Structures are given as structure tokens and as C-alpha cells.
């Protein structure tokens, strides 16, 4: 069966029309054969977004921008209506997904998807309205960063201009002469400093001999200390021996002896208080005390009688006459005289 040229031409025309429609559809951002999920998002401005721009998720293209239309009936944040599709069948948009207009590279704009994290809320259906936001592009960010720096540079240039004007007003003929005078004074000061340095050098040379003598004296002192090292060691040894003797001294025995002496004294005092022993009888016996007083009184009377009437007790003669009394030899008389002299008046 032969096919006529007219039928072939018709098939070719239909195929061409189909390819044309598919190509136009693809150029608009749809899949080649269509059937993609379409969603809508609103922005306050387009931020230079155009149709056929890419829709990315984590840097991977998943769709295309279908149209960017002006929406006069929308509010301030909904002046631009953007429709886009998702060409990847594996990508679903959970509730809470955000759409952001951002820079995909240095030259192209596009939509960036930020999927919602709570999958329990479900997913958006094709035709739903998604929340949109505009991110700062590189130019805007650079402008935000550069504006403060530019302002600081302008202020700095004003300050530099004022400083240059001040220096120019100062740098006249009088200032030049003052500067020359200052340089002359500086030159004179450097010359004086050189003279002082020379004097210091001569002084150091003159005192170098004295410094050498001082070092010799110090060396002699150290040598004497070295020679006296043995004597110092002996002194330290004696000191150590004394401290060792003090440490080893029988302080405990001495304390024990003192303790025993105190015990014996306490016992003696207890016996004396009880009237025991010679000391106790002497303290507590009134009769002995009275007898001693009587004896003392008799001795006092005897001494007084000796002073008044010594002839009664001493036998001496005047011109051959003999006096009555006790006959005493010269030795006994001397002893009696000493006793009488030692008795107070």
C-alpha cells in the first residue's frame, strides 16, 4: 500500500506542530510532555526574577519558574505573583516549606526551596500558595558592608584635608626659620653629649685602678674566709656538741628529784602541823615556849647583873687588895669579855 505524498506531508506537519508545542512548553519551564505539579508564591517585588529561572533544592534543580506576574490586588507583600513547577517526581513539599528568591550564581536569580521539617503536618497539594521571602543579593550585601566603610572614609578624608590645611598654614617663612633654629639647638645638644661621653670615658679610665684594688681586696677577704673555714667548722661543731648535751641532759631526773623533795617537805610540814617530831613539838607545845621565854628572861637578868656588878663574877685586885667574886684565869676573862661585847645594849 502506497502512502501518498499528501498523507506524508500531513503527518510531518502534525509531528512538527507537536514538537513545536512541546518545545515551547519546555522553554516555558514545563516538562517536555507536561504534567508537572504547579505551585504559587507571592513577593513584594520580583527582585529581577524572570520566567524559566531554576527552582533549586539543596543546590539541585528540581523545577522551573513558569511566570512572574504583577498582582495589583495584592497587599504590600503580595505585589508579585510567581508560579513554578516541580519536575522531579520524588520531590514533595511538606507543610511549612518556604520559598526564597536568591542568587544562584553571580549572574542568575532563581527560587530556593527550604522544606518543612515537621512531616506529620502533611504535604502541599498542587496549586497551593507557599510563603515567600526575598534574600539579600550580593550587590545588596556588598552595599550594606561598604556603606559604613565609605562613610568612615569620607570622614577620614575631611580630617586629612583639615590637617593638610593646618600644616600649609603653619609652614611659612617664620616656621622655616624656627625649624632651622631648632636644628641648630639639636646640633649643639649632640655636641655637648659627645663632650659628656668623653668625660665619662676619662673618669672610667681614672677609676679603673681603684676598681682593680677593690677587686683585689674582695679576693683577699674571700681567701681569709676560706682559711678561717676550719675554725668556723670547729665553732659549729662545739655549738652542736653543746646542743647535744642540752638535749641529752637528765632534765627528767632533776624534775623527779625536785618532786620528791617537795613531797618530803610536805610530809614534814604535815607532821609539824600535827605536833609530831621536834619541830612539831616546838611549834605546838606552849609549855616549851614558856620555858624558853623564862630561860631567856633569866639570861637577860644575868647579863644585866654582869654589866652592873662584874666584881661578883670576876676576881681582880687593886693595889694588892682582892675583890670578892669568882676566880677566872686570863683566858676565861677574854671569853667572858667577848660574850659581853656581843650582847646588844
What are the start-end ranges of the H helices in 29-172? 138-170
- On whether the CB atoms of residues 51 and 65 are closer than 8 A, the answer is yes
CA 240 to chain centre: 46
Measured between alpha carbons, how far is 109 from 129 in angstroms, rounded to an integer?
21
In terms of Cβ atoms closer than 10 Å to its own Cβ (0-12, 13-18, 19+), residue 7 is exposed
CA distances from 194 to 16, 87, 182, 184, 201 (A): 104, 91, 18, 15, 11
Measured between alpha carbons, how far is 30 from 65 in angstroms, rounded to an integer?
9
- On whether the CB atoms of residues 82 and 43 are closer than 8 A, the answer is yes
What is the sign, positive or negative, of the torsion defined by CA atoms of 260, 263, 265, 267? negative
Is the model's pTM score more than 0.75? no
Residue 215 is predicted with a pLDDT of 75
| Residue 118 cell numbers, joined | 515537621
**pLDDT tens per residue, the chain (345 residues)?**
566 777 777 777 777 776 666 565 555 555 545 567 899 999 988 888 888 888 999 888 899 998 999 988 878 788 899 999 998 888 889 999 999 998 877 778 899 999 988 888 899 999 899 998 887 655 555 666 667 787 788 888 888 877 777 666 655 555 566 667 777 888 888 888 777 777 777 776 766 777 777 777 778 777 777 777 777 777 777 777 776 666 665 667 777 888 888 888 887 777 777 777 776 766 666 777 777 777 878 777 777 777 776 666 655 554 444 545 556 667 767 776 776 666 655
Residue 42 is predicted with a pLDDT of 93
Mapping DSSP to helix (H, G, I), strand (E, B) and coil, where does residue 321 land?
strand
Which helix (DSSP H) or strand (DSSP E) does residue 331 occupy?
helix 330-342
Measured between alpha carbons, how far is 234 from 214 in angstroms, rounded to an integer?
30
Which helix (DSSP H) or strand (DSSP E) does residue 245 occupy?
helix 229-248
Mapping DSSP to helix (H, G, I), strand (E, B) and coil, where does residue 157 land?
helix
Which residues lie below 8 Å from residue 109, measured CB to CB, with a gap of 6+?
47, 48, 49, 50, 53, 101, 102, 103, 137
Residue 97 is predicted with a pLDDT of 92
Cα angle value 172/175/177 (rounded, 5°): 110
Residue 94 is predicted with a pLDDT of 92
Strands annotated E in the chain: 37-43, 54-57, 60-70, 80-86, 98-103, 109-114, 129-130, 132-134, 317-318, 321-322
Residue 318 is predicted with a pLDDT of 47
Residue 319 is predicted with a pLDDT of 45
Residue (of 65, 38, 62) closest to 52 by Cα position: 65
Measured between alpha carbons, how far is 113 from 65 in angstroms, rounded to an integer?
12
- On whether the CB atoms of residues 45 and 79 are closer than 8 A, the answer is yes
Amino acid at each position: 500500500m502506497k502512502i501518498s505524498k499528501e498523507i506524508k506531508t500531513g503527518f510531518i506537519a502534525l509531528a512538527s506542530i507537536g514538537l513545536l508545542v512541546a518545545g515551547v512548553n519546555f522553554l516555558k519551564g514545563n516538562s517536555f510532555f507536561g504534567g508537572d505539579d504547579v505551585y504559587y508564591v507571592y513577593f513584594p517585588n520580583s527582585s529581577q526574577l524572570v520566567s524559566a529561572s531554576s527552582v533549586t533544592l539543596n543546590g539541585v534543580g528540581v523545577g522551573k519558574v513558569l511566570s512572574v506576574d504583577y498582582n495589583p490586588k495584592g497587599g504590600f507583600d503580595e505585589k508579585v505573583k510567581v508560579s513554578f513547577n516541580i519536575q522531579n517526581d520524588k520531590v514533595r513539599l511538606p507543610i511549612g516549606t518556604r520559598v526564597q528568591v536568591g542568587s544562584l550564581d553571580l549572574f542568575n536569580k532563581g527560587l530556593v526551596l527550604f522544606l518543612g521539617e515537621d512531616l506529620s503536618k502533611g504535604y502541599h497539594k498542587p496549586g497551593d500558595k507557599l510563603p515567600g521571602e526575598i534574600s539579600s543579593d550580593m550587590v545588596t550585601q556588598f552595599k550594606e558592608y561598604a556603606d559604613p566603610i565609605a562613610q568612615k572614609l569620607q570622614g577620614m578624608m575631611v580630617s586629612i584635608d583639615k590637617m593638610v590645611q593646618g600644616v600649609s598654614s603653619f609652614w611659612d617663612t617664620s616656621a622655616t626659620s624656627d625649624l632651622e633654629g631648632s636644628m641648630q639647638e639639636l646640633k649643639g645638644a649632640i655636641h655637648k653629649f659627645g663632650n659628656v661621653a668623653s668625660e665619662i670615658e676619662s673618669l672610667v679610665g681614672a677609676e679603673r685602678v681603684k676598681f682593680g684594688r677593690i677587686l683585689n681586696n674582695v679576693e683577699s677577704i674571700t681567701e681569709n674566709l676560706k682559711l678561717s673555714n676550719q675554725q668556723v667548722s670547729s665553732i659549729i661543731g662545739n655549738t652542736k656538741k653543746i646542743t647535744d648535751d642540752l638535749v641529752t641532759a637528765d632534765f627528767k631526773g632533776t624534775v623527779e628529784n625536785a618532786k620528791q623533795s617537795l613531797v618530803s617537805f610536805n610530809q614534814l610540814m604535815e607532821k609539824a602541823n600535827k605536833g609530831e617530831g621536834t619541830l612539831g613539838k616546838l611549834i605546838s607545845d606552849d609549855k616549851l615556849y614558856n620555858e624558853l621565854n623564862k630561860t631567856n628572861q633569866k639570861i637577860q637578868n644575868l647579863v644585866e647583873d654582869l654589866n652592873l656588878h662584874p666584881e661578883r663574877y670576876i676576881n681582880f685586885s687593886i693595889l694588892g687588895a682582892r675583890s670578892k667574886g669568882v676566880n677566872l684565869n686570863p683566858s676565861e676573862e677574854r671569853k667572858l669579855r667577848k660574850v659581853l661585847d656581843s650582847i646588844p645594849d
